[in-house]
Amino acid sequence: RDFVSVCSKQDLLTDLIVTYKQLSQEDTQDTIRVACVHATLVIANMLNAEENKQHTITAIKDAAEDRSWRVRLTVAKNFHVLCEALGPGLTTAELMGPFIALMKDNEQEVRKEAVRVIQSCIELKEPLTQEQIQQHVLPQFQSLALDPSQAVRAALAQVLGPVAKLLGRDVTQRQLLGLISDLMKDEFHDVRLNIVSHAGLICEVLTVD
């Protein structure tokens, strides 16, 4: 990552991109593939949309499905950085599918980070839109609210306030209110605490005194 960040775009495309692609497919050590995800965060910012389609999108999708949970976790933790680098068009066209898969990942740590990063994604300069959240992310919330991992449910409770603010009163009433009510009664203290900490924001969205 540090090496890539000091290279020129021309050097990257001429000399380094082939090596980067080979290392992102490195078979024996997941630490190398994790490092390649970090390199991708830098490379994606250096390239335009067409170049990213050619050089980084496949690597990102492969990393999101990598057999190593550490690689998938790195993608989940940095998903907002990828969204920012690739822009709304490529995010919508190429990244929403992998993001949904990360929220359904079989490792709870990956699911937790994929949920946590939602808040960062809607706070970007060019954030995930209401449509993207409603169409792709919201349908995952019901199963996440029933997740066997307390940490995943706590992460969901943490982002519901900001998501409600983005989606507005009508959608919150129709699709989030039952979920919020259920999480307020969760057996795990941190889940209840995270919901209650956003109660003011949620009430503001619902215009309830």
**What is the three-state SS of the chain?**
CHHHHCCCHHHHHHHHHHHHHHHHCCCCCHHHHHHHHHHHHHHHHHCCHHHHHHHCHHHHHHHHCCCCHHHHHHHHHCHHHHHHHHHHHHHHHHHHHHHHHHHCCCCHHHHHHHHHHHHHHCCCCCCCCHHHHHHHHHHHHHHHHCCCCHHHHHHHHHHHHHHHHHHHHHHHHHHHHHHHHHHHCCCCHHHHHHHHCCHHHHHHHCCCC
pLDDT at 209: 44
Q: Compute the average pLDDT of residues 164-193.
A: 95
- Least reliable range by pLDDT among 19-33, 43-57, 84-98, 99-113: 19-33
- Residues 32-78 have pLDDT tens digits of 999 989 999 998 998 899 999 998 999 999 999 999 999 999 999 99
- Residues 172-183 have pLDDT tens digits of 999 999 999 999
Length of the chain: 209
- pLDDT of residue 31 exceeding 60, the answer is yes
- pLDDT of residue 14 exceeding 70, the answer is no
pLDDT at 132: 93
pLDDT at 53: 93
Mean pLDDT, the chain, rounded, equals 91
Q: Compute the average pLDDT of residues 116-137.
A: 95
pLDDT at 21: 78
**Helices 177-184, 150-171: inter-axial angle, 10-degree rounding:** 150
The Cα–Cα gap between 201 and 131 comes to: 21
pLDDT at 75: 98
Count CB neighbours of 170 within 10 A: 8
pTM: 0.91
